[in-house]
């Protein structure tokens, strides 16, 4: 079960990284602050996803959750108050926005399940 | 330090080393991944020389909403702020290919204000100065005085296009027929259609307008009612950058191949959309005004897919 959770987390995080890389290459790179942030998210998510495939301690799952939460927070801010002057509407660009949000929510859920199971194990 | 591997409060030396190794691997892979993605996004960019030293690089400056003639507590010296912006451009360390003023050059469209802004901009050390009108530049005369001052070489009500270093620029007028939102009109839409018909899809396009071509906040008129039609002619291009003024604040968004950048002002800030009942000038605490004002540097290097936009506060 732990292996399945780890691989699923890696897969979802890799998808989030891939979509951010695709948007970065496709034009977001010229947007001040947002461009470099997309690049960082894409490269860090890919790196953590790769390490999760190999193995990795619980700390790496927390890093995955942090990256997913950061991307989601950026998404929400860009649809509400704006983020460094950048703003978008709804699930645009499609389909990347929806896919990315789904992948990041999945990462958070998977890490939460992992942590819950680890806590249960440590009690027994 | 506890030796119990289950103890979350403690960590053995081996565990510490293992965590450090994972962390190190994550950092190395992140840096490597970033480098790979950057190279995919812009092949050869890493090897390219700095844009400021590259003779083939296109560099221009956008300024906006100088509102010469404005009198109010939000900025009691708009002329001085504008003069400061011009000095900042002249002190950039390179000579911009051109400087574009995206409208509201004047506050009340008086001949004296047009004369003053023209004289002030003549001090710019640049290839040429271009403008598009704002709604404050066409009060009561549908832009006649504006066109007398700045309309040489333009078509229709003052729109035009030009090419510099492989980039195609389109300067639009969306402030003349406005009721609430900006409006381009059928003649101008036809101009855009014909203007870009001859261009290859890999030609970078930059569109200037005063009012945003995207729906930034329609309740305050921050949008253009027939912009969708104009933008439909630009969908086939790989890189389209729309630069506007009017909203007196930085704002960026992307729709497919088109990136919109609203510029700040050299005069006074306006509220963020919906934060106040109306878009009236905001008076900032003493010493904070310069942070809200600024200029925009834009760079394009041949072979690159897009333009690099850098907003700089008024020094």
Residue B158 tokens read as: 């003052």
CA distance B242 to B231: 10
pLDDT value at residue B9: 52
B50 confidence band (pLDDT: 50, 70, 90): low
A 10 A CB-CB count for A112 gives 12
CA distance B122 to A11: 58
Q: Residue B262 in contact with residue B250, Cβ under 8 Å?
A: yes
DSSP secondary structure, B76-142, as one string: S-HHHHHHHHHHHHHTSSS--SEEEE-S--BSS--HHHHHHHHHHHTT--SSEEEE---GGGSTTTT
Calculated CA dihedral for residues B261, B140, B279, B70, nearest 10 degrees: 90
Residue A110 tokens read as: 């998977």
Give the CA diameter of chain B: 84
Question: Domain ranges in chain A?
Answer: 2-123
pLDDT score of B188 more than 70? yes
Residues B11 and B83 in one domain: no
The beta-carbon contacts of B139-143 under 8 Å, at least 24 apart in sequence, are B139/B108, B139/B109, B140/B109, B141/B109, B142/B176, B143/B173, B143/B175, B143/B176
The pLDDT tens digits for A65-90 are 999 999 999 999 988 887 887 777 78
For residue B277, the 8-state DSSP code is S
pLDDT score of B187 more than 60? yes
pLDDT score of B1 more than 50? no
Low-confidence ranges of chain A (pLDDT < 70): none
Using alpha carbons only, give the angle B74, B247, B57 rounded to the nearest 5 degrees.
115
* Host domain of residue B61: 51-313
* Range of weakest confidence among A40-49, B17-26, B91-100, B258-267: B17-26
Shortest distance between the Cα of B240 and any Cα of chain A, in A, equals 10
With an 8 Å Cβ cutoff, are A88 and B253 in contact? yes
pLDDT value at residue B3: 40
Residues B115 and B25 in one domain: no
The closest CB to that of B253, out of A21, A30, A87, belongs to: A87
Q: Residue A48 in contact with residue A20, Cβ under 8 Å?
A: no
With an 8 Å Cβ cutoff, are A122 and B6 in contact? yes
Residues B97 and B230 in one domain: yes
pLDDT value at residue B132: 97
A 10 A CB-CB count for B91 gives 9
Residues B88 and B12 in one domain: no
Pairing mode, strands B128-131 and B160-164:
unpaired
Q: Where are the beta strands (DSSP E) in chain B?
A: 58-63, 98-101, 128-131, 160-164, 167-171, 205-209, 240-244, 251-255, 258-262, 294-300, 308-313
A 10 A CB-CB count for A36 gives 15
Residues B125 and B28 in one domain: no
pLDDT value at residue B302: 81
Mean of pLDDT over chain B? 90
Residues B11 and B131 in one domain: no
With an 8 Å Cβ cutoff, are A47 and B252 in contact? no
With an 8 Å Cβ cutoff, are A93 and B34 in contact? no
Picking from B244, B235, B250, the residue whose alpha carbon sits closest to that of residue B205 is B235
> In residues, how long is chain A?
124
Query: For chain B, how big is the Rg over CA atoms in Å?
Result: 23
Q: Residue B88 in contact with residue B130, Cβ under 8 Å?
A: no
> Is B125 among the domain residues?
yes
pTM over 0.80: no
The closest CB to that of B311, out of A17, A32, A89, belongs to: A32
pLDDT value at residue B51: 53
CATH number at residue B104: 3.60.21.10
Task: Say if the ipTM goes beyond 0.95.
Answer: no
List chain A residues with CB under 8 Å of B249. 85
pLDDT value at residue A33: 83
pLDDT score of B163 more than 70? yes
Instruction: Compare all CA atoms of chain A with the CA of B312 and give the residue at the minimum distance.
Output: A32
A 10 A CB-CB count for B28 gives 11
* Range of weakest confidence among A79-83, A98-102, B165-169, B236-240: A79-83
Instruction: Kindly state the percentage of chain B with pLDDT values over 90.
Output: 70
Residues B113 and B2 in one domain: no
Give CA separation, B106 vs B61, B67, B103, B109, B265, in Å. 19, 4, 8, 6, 12
Residues B191 and B236 in one domain: yes
Shortest distance between the Cα of B310 and any Cα of chain A, in A, equals 7
pLDDT value at residue A41: 96
List chain B residues with CB under 8 Å of A17. 33
Shortest distance between the Cα of B262 and any Cα of chain A, in A, equals 9
> Is B86 among the domain residues?
yes
The closest CB to that of A57, out of B18, B37, B38, belongs to: B18
pLDDT value at residue A118: 87
Residues of chain B with a CB closer than 8 angstroms to some CB in chain A? 6, 8, 18-19, 22-23, 25-34, 36-38, 40-42, 239, 241, 249-257, 259, 262, 272, 305-311
> Is B46 among the domain residues?
no
Domain count, chain B: 2
pLDDT value at residue B49: 42
The pLDDT tens digits for B81-135 are 999 999 999 999 899 999 999 999 999 999 999 999 999 999 999 999 999 999 9
> Is the CB of A111 inside 8 Å of chain B's CB atoms?
no
pLDDT value at residue B212: 97
pLDDT value at residue B48: 40
pLDDT score of B61 more than 90? yes
Residue B24 tokens read as: 């190190």
With an 8 Å Cβ cutoff, are A50 and B29 in contact? yes
Residues B226 and B247 in one domain: yes
Among B33, B240, B260, the strongest candidate for a mutation testing the A interface, having the largest count of A CBs within 10 A, is B33
Shortest distance between the Cα of B42 and any Cα of chain A, in A, equals 8
């Amino acid at each position: 079960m732990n292996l399945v959770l780890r691989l699923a987390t890696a897969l979802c995080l890799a998808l989030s990284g891939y979509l951010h890389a695709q948007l970065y290459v496709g034009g977001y790179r010229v947007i001040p602050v947002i461009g470099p942030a997309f690049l960082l998210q894409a490269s860090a998510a890919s790196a953590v996803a790769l390490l999760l495939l190999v193995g990795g301690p619980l700390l790496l799952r927390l890093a995955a959750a942090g990256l997913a939460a950061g991307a989601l927070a950026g998404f929400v801010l860009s649809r509400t108050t704006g983020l460094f002057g950048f703003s978008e509407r709804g699930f645009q660009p499609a389909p990347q926005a929806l896919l990315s949000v789904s992948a990041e929510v999945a990462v958070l859920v998977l890490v939460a399940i992992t942590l819950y199971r680890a806590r249960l194990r440590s009690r027994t | 330090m506890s030796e119990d591997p289950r103890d979350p409060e403690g960590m053995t030396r081996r565990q510490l080393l293992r965590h450090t190794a994972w962390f190190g691997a994550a950092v190395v892979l992140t840096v490597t991944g970033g480098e790979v993605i950057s190279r995919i996004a812009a092949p050869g960019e890493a090897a390219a020389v700095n844009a400021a030293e590259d003779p083939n690089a296109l560099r221009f400056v956008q300024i906006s909403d100088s509102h010469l003639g404005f009198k109010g507590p939000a900025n009691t010296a708009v002329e001085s702020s504008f003069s400061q912006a011009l000095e900042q451009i002249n002190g950039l360390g390179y000579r911009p290919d051109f400087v574009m003023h995206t409208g509201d050059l004047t506050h009340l469209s008086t001949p004296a204000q047009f004369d003053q802004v023209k004289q002030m901009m003549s001090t710019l050390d640049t290839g040429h100065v271009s403008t598009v009108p704002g709604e404050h530049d066409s009060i009561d005369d549908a832009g006649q005085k504006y066109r007398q001052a700045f309309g040489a070489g333009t078509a229709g009500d003052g729109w035009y296009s030009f090419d510099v270093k492989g980039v195609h620029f389109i300067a639009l007028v969306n402030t003349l027929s406005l009721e609430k939102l900006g409006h381009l009109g059928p003649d101008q839409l036809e101009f855009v259609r014909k203007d870009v018909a001859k261009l290859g899809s890999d030609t970078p396009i930059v569109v200037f307008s005063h009012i945003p071509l995207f729906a930034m906040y329609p309740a305050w008129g921050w949008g253009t009612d027939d912009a969708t039609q104009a933008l439909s002619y630009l969908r086939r291009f790989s890189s389209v950058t729309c630069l506007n003024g009017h909203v007196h604040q930085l704002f960026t968004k992307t729709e497919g191949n088109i990136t919109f950048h609203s510029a700040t002002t050299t005069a006074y800030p306006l509220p963020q959309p919906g934060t106040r009942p109306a878009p009236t000038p905001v008076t900032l605490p003493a010493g904070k005004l310069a942070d809200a004002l600024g200029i925009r540097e834009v760079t394009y290097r041949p072979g690159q897919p897009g333009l690099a936009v850098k907003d700089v506060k008024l020094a």
